[in-house]
Structure 1
Amino acid sequence: MPKEDETRDLERAEEYEQTIARATAIGKNKMELSTGLIIAARYADKLRRVALVAFSKMVPKDIIIRDISELNKQLYDVIVNQMKIDKLDVIRILVDAEYDEQNQKLVFSNVRIIRYLTEEQCSKKYEEVNKQLEEYKKKYEELSRQVEEFKEKIRQVEEALKALT
């Protein structure tokens, strides 16, 4: 990472520490990091800054930056390729991070990516689901009709068998 970006992130991290705490202590050397609501395109910067604020007093900055960079690469794959989130979609990332002093490494667990939808996106999804529900209702009615026809045929066959015996 270029030195200029590191300096900018460190300055912003100090600013965040003064104004907005986005990390919650959940144990010794363990924090829950939260990006807050952000557009997806900004998650990497925000997560790095939050980690810098949360761990700057106990973990060397180069370790924080190295390990958060690795996490951000993994998150990119999930956000872009698996979840198909657009860069302007609103998301929140929560992750538990623990500093392993012995291995001098941040260990991440319980990663949660929450995607927020606009009212328009919700309405569109609602219409799609309703349309699918109507199709299922039609299929159900057709299958119910066929079941009744089969029951009637079975009754007729049973009557014919009784008449033969």
Structure 2
Amino acid sequence: MAAWKLEENIQRDLEKAQENVELYGGHVVKAPNRYEIRTGVVVAARFADKLRRTAFAVFGGVLPREEIVRATSELNKKIYEKLISMGVGKLDIVRITVEAIIEGGKLTFGEPKIEWFIPHSEVEKRVVECERRINEIKQKIETLLRELP
């Protein structure tokens, strides 16, 4: 698995923000000052760009640019750490959803929900491996049961 890292290109994201809203939507208003932000299905290495673009599109007319950059930067670091700990590769496909709240001119994100999409071929390999392990465990149990008085 190749190593990957976060990259920030704020100017590019500002330029792409409106296009992102027009093409993908990317958010739901849940209540006054409470939103749900979504990346849609995206290659893991690009999640940060999608989140920033959506945040700029949604909050650009409401919050200062610096506040959006600060909040999304913190969120992206948190998500990156979670992706790495989950073993997600940079070319794997994910979808991230997170709640956002505006209070007192500050943007705060809740706990992100990360969905990791695994290719069918990989699922098949994992199923075969699980079946092999189950059979080994069954054999060990049967051996232990035979040894009992």
For the pair 1:47 / 2:55, whether they are aligned, the reply is no
Between structures 1 and 2, the one with greater helix share: 1
Task: Mark the runs of 5 or more structure 1 residues left unpaired by the alignment.
Answer: 151-165
TM-score normalised to structure 1 length: 0.80
Match of 1:145 in 2: 146
For the pair 1:26 / 2:30, whether they are aligned, the reply is yes
CA distance in 2, matches of 1:17, 1:115: 23
* Percent sequence identity over aligned pairs: 36
Deviation at 1:31, TM superposition (A): 0.8
Count of equivalent residues: 142
For the pair 1:122 / 2:126, whether they are aligned, the reply is no
CA distance in 2, matches of 1:20, 1:47: 12
Query: Greater CA radius of gyration, 1 or 2?
Result: 1
1:8 maps to a residue whose letter is: R
Q: Which has the higher contact order (CA 8 A, sep 6+)?
A: 2
CA distance in 2, matches of 1:20, 1:44: 16
Task: Mark the runs of 5 or more structure 2 residues left unpaired by the alignment.
Answer: 1-7
CA distance in 2, matches of 1:10, 1:86: 27
CA distance in 2, matches of 1:89, 1:5: 21
2:53 maps to a residue whose letter is: R
Q: Secondary structure at the match of 2:40?
A: coil
Match of 1:108 in 2: 109
Measured on the aligned residues, the alpha-carbon RMSD in Å equals: 1.5
Deviation at 1:39, TM superposition (A): 0.7
Q: Secondary structure at the match of 2:89?
A: coil
Match of residue 98, structure 1, among 101, 104, 113: 101
Q: Secondary structure at the match of 2:90?
A: coil
TM-score normalised to structure 2 length: 0.88
Check the 8 A contact 1:90/1:116 in 2, yes or no. yes
CA distance in 2, matches of 1:31, 1:39: 23
